[in-house]
Amino acid sequence: MNDTRIGFGYDFHKLIKGKSIGLAGVEIQSNYSVSAHSDGDIVFHALSDAIYGAIADGDIGTHFPSDDQNLNISSKKILSHACETLNKFGYSLGNIDITIILEEPRLQNFIPQMRKNISTLTTLNIDRISIKSSTSQGIGLIGNNQAIGCYSSILIKK
């Protein structure tokens, strides 16, 4: 029997004055930083939650509670754990589709390296990883540079 599942992950964080934003392991110069208990890489967070969701194994908070032990934890560690758990359940990734919503800075030039970093961490071929960026057209918290959001959809197969 062919066991195929989808997963969906979402992350949303407050932006604060800062010097850079880390997205999919790429440090991007910015007038803002992400306020978070971990290192705040919302791309890795949304992707990890998509993986946990697809295998019905909780979410990041289940595996990495917001306690002192996980303060400033690397999001690479979170994503690596999600991938290891996926493999333990007997599944592998089929494809990844990510959308980052951020007013500024523009992300287009950083997307190739983001895709490469995700490919390395997940061992998924880069041609199966899509990352898109969008703005909120100056509307709401994201449009006013007060927040950043990310959506991730995945397909997994046994």
Q: What is the CATH number of the domain that holds 103?
A: 3.30.1330.50
pLDDT of residue 129: 98
Whether residue 1 is predicted with pLDDT greater than 80 in this model: the reply is: no
Residue 130 bridge partners (DSSP): 97
pLDDT of residue 38: 85
Backbone φ/ψ region at 124: left (φ over 0), alpha (ψ -120 to 50), beta: beta
pLDDT of residue 123: 97
- Domain span at 35: 4-157
Q: On the CB side of 139, how many CA atoms lie within 13 Å of its CA?
A: 4
SS3 156: strand
pLDDT of residue 69: 85
Total domains, the chain: 1
Whether residue 20 is predicted with pLDDT greater than 60 in this model: the reply is: yes
Contact 156/86 with Cβ under 8 angstroms?
yes
Distances (CA, A) of 85 to 82, 96, 130: 5, 17, 22
pLDDT (tens digit per residue) in 104-158: 999 999 999 999 999 999 999 999 999 999 999 999 999 989 999 999 999 999 9
pLDDT (tens digit per residue) in 38-88: 889 999 999 999 999 999 999 999 999 888 887 888 999 999 999 999 999
Contact 128/95 with Cβ under 8 angstroms?
yes
